[in-house]
Amino acid sequence: MAQHLYGIDLGTSNFKIYGLTNKKTINEKNVIAKKNKDEIFEYGNPAFEMFEKAPANIDISFPVKFGVIADIRNMDILFECFFKKLNGKSGNSGGDFCIAVPTDITEVEKRAFYDMVAESRVKSKHINVVEKPIADAVGVGIDVDSPKGNLIVNIGSDTTEISVISLGGIVLSKLIKTGGSKLDDAICSIVRKKYNLVIGRRTAEQIKINLADATNASDKTWIAYGRNIVTGLPASKEISSGLVYEAISEILHSIIDSIKVILERTPPELAADIISTGLYLTGGSSRIKNLDTLINDETGLFVNLDDEPDETVIRGIAQILSNNKLKQLMYVPREKQYN
């Protein structure tokens, strides 16, 4: 067994890395800020604080788009920075790695996760990947080796991954390009249309966190600040939860429609198990108030919620790394097996 074992969950919004030796997890924004094109200015949460506020000479980059690595160079830099932050002075000691990858992507896109670690300056020994829905299931406490069927719905920043798992494998999986960011865009659009107020993505996210209700059962309001299109001057408006519901309702129902498509394709015996155990809802965007109620109303399934839905994947990887029985869930991406 290697001396150092690490787990990585690369999300569109957050970068999570876990070290088995010190039992430490870093969960920060997957963002890098570069000054004058090449100089690393900030990364992680401090870099996200600069988003939509930085001057022209500071470039804010999100290396992961729709669940896959879009900017390998900046992703390499971020990985090395977070790895050093996790380990302190021993940042280049290396070890064995397990990386969570989405299921419904190409083999080339999966290998990009592998190559990010393999080609970095971190001295990696063995690199494996695990399907993200499998790690997700382990993280919420499911016995993945059981023949019992389970439905996992992970609503992330850019994507929603819907998977049926059984016997340690994925029976069905569907990745749709709908997530929290699309909800933010919809809020920006409706506020602009109704109030002639231009707001930023970060403001839209705060409106979503404070006001979003999947069943329109809330009557809360929140003051949004932005720029008036007509006058060009700074302005503020009181936003109601009803307006936010109007913006996000169609998007939430599109996610539910995709869940129904998976359920229609699920073999009858597994469908019987899912009716018995319910649906497991994870991912940061699953925190929307009453989303479980809406899904239950539309599908008839009980919805299991986690206290920390954005950390279920990295928690699952941690368990896989520390349990010899679960290590069989990891594998090497196809092309790399013959190198």
The model's pLDDT over 170-181, given as tens digits with 9 standing for 90+, comes to 999 999 999 999
Answer whether residue 157 shows pLDDT above 70: yes
Answer whether residue 88 shows pLDDT above 80: no
CA 90/CA 37 separation, integer angstroms: 28
Cβ atoms 22, 318 nearer than 8 A: no
Query: Within this chain, do residues 196 and 328 fall inside the same structural domain, yes or no?
Result: no
pLDDT score recorded for residue 25:
94
Residue with tokens 């100089």: 39
Query: Within this chain, do residues 76 and 51 fall inside the same structural domain, yes or no?
Result: yes
Percent of the residues in the chain that have a pLDDT greater than 90, as a whole number: 84
- Residue 104 — pLDDT band, cuts 50, 70, 90? confident
Answer whether residue 334 shows pLDDT above 80: no
Total count of domains within the chain: 2
Cβ atoms 185, 202 nearer than 8 A: no
Select from 204, 34, 5 the least CA-distant residue to 117: 5
Cβ atoms 314, 27 nearer than 8 A: yes
Select from 244, 63, 76 the least CA-distant residue to 157: 63
Query: Within this chain, do residues 170 and 289 fall inside the same structural domain, yes or no?
Result: yes
Longest pairwise C-alpha distance within the chain: 65
Query: Within this chain, do residues 156 and 262 fall inside the same structural domain, yes or no?
Result: yes
- Region 266-289: mean pLDDT is 95
Average pLDDT, the chain: 92
- Region 281-310: mean pLDDT is 95
Select from 159, 153, 162, 213 the least CA-distant residue to 182: 159
Please state the pTM of the whole predicted model: 0.91
Tokens of 171: 């029976």
- Region 68-94: mean pLDDT is 84
pLDDT score recorded for residue 123:
83
Query: Within this chain, do residues 193 and 72 fall inside the same structural domain, yes or no?
Result: no
Answer whether residue 147 shows pLDDT above 70: yes
Residue with tokens 């404070």: 210
- Residue 94 — pLDDT band, cuts 50, 70, 90? confident
Q: Which domain holds residue 266?
A: 144-305
Cβ burial of 251 (10 Å; 0-12, 13-18, 19+) is middle
Least confidently predicted of 11-20, 115-124, 269-278: 115-124
CA 127/CA 114 separation, integer angstroms: 7
Query: Within this chain, do residues 72 and 152 fall inside the same structural domain, yes or no?
Result: no
pLDDT score recorded for residue 242:
96
Classify strands 39-43 and 24-29 as parallel, antiparallel or unpaired. Answer: unpaired
pLDDT score recorded for residue 100:
95
Give a three-class secondary structure readout of the chain.
CCCCEEEEEECCCEEEEEECCCCEEEEEECCEEEECCCEEEEECHHHHHCCCCCCCCEEEECCEECCEECCHHHHHHHHHHHHHHHHHHHCCCCEEEEEEECCCCCHHHHHHHHHHHHCCCCCEEEEEEEEHHHHHHHHCCCCCCCCCCEEEEEECCCCEEEEEEECCEEEEEEEECCCHHHHHHHHHHHHHHHHCEECCHHHHHHHHHHHCECCCCCCCEEEEEEEECCCCCEEEEEEEHHHHHHHHHHHHHHHHHHHHHHHHHCCHHHHHHHHHHCEEEECHHHHCECHHHHHHHHHCCCEEECCCHHHHHHHHHHHHHHCCCHHHHCECCHHHHHC
Query: Within this chain, do residues 269 and 197 fall inside the same structural domain, yes or no?
Result: yes
Q: What is the CATH number of the domain that holds 214?
A: 3.30.420.40
pLDDT score recorded for residue 93:
65
Which residues face 18 on adjacent strands?
7, 25
Q: Is 219 left (phi over 0), alpha (psi -120 to 50) or beta?
A: alpha
Query: Within this chain, do residues 109 and 164 fall inside the same structural domain, yes or no?
Result: no
pLDDT score recorded for residue 185:
97
pLDDT score recorded for residue 90:
54
Answer whether residue 153 shows pLDDT above 90: yes
Nearest 5°: phi and psi at 100? -80, 130
Query: Within this chain, do residues 293 and 209 fall inside the same structural domain, yes or no?
Result: yes
Percent of the residues in the chain that have a pLDDT greater than 70, as a whole number: 96
- Residue 1 — pLDDT band, cuts 50, 70, 90? very low
Query: Within this chain, do residues 98 and 237 fall inside the same structural domain, yes or no?
Result: no
Tokens of 126: 């063995």
Query: Within this chain, do residues 296 and 177 fall inside the same structural domain, yes or no?
Result: yes
- Region 61-88: mean pLDDT is 92
- Residue 155 — pLDDT band, cuts 50, 70, 90? very high
Query: Within this chain, do residues 269 and 321 fall inside the same structural domain, yes or no?
Result: no
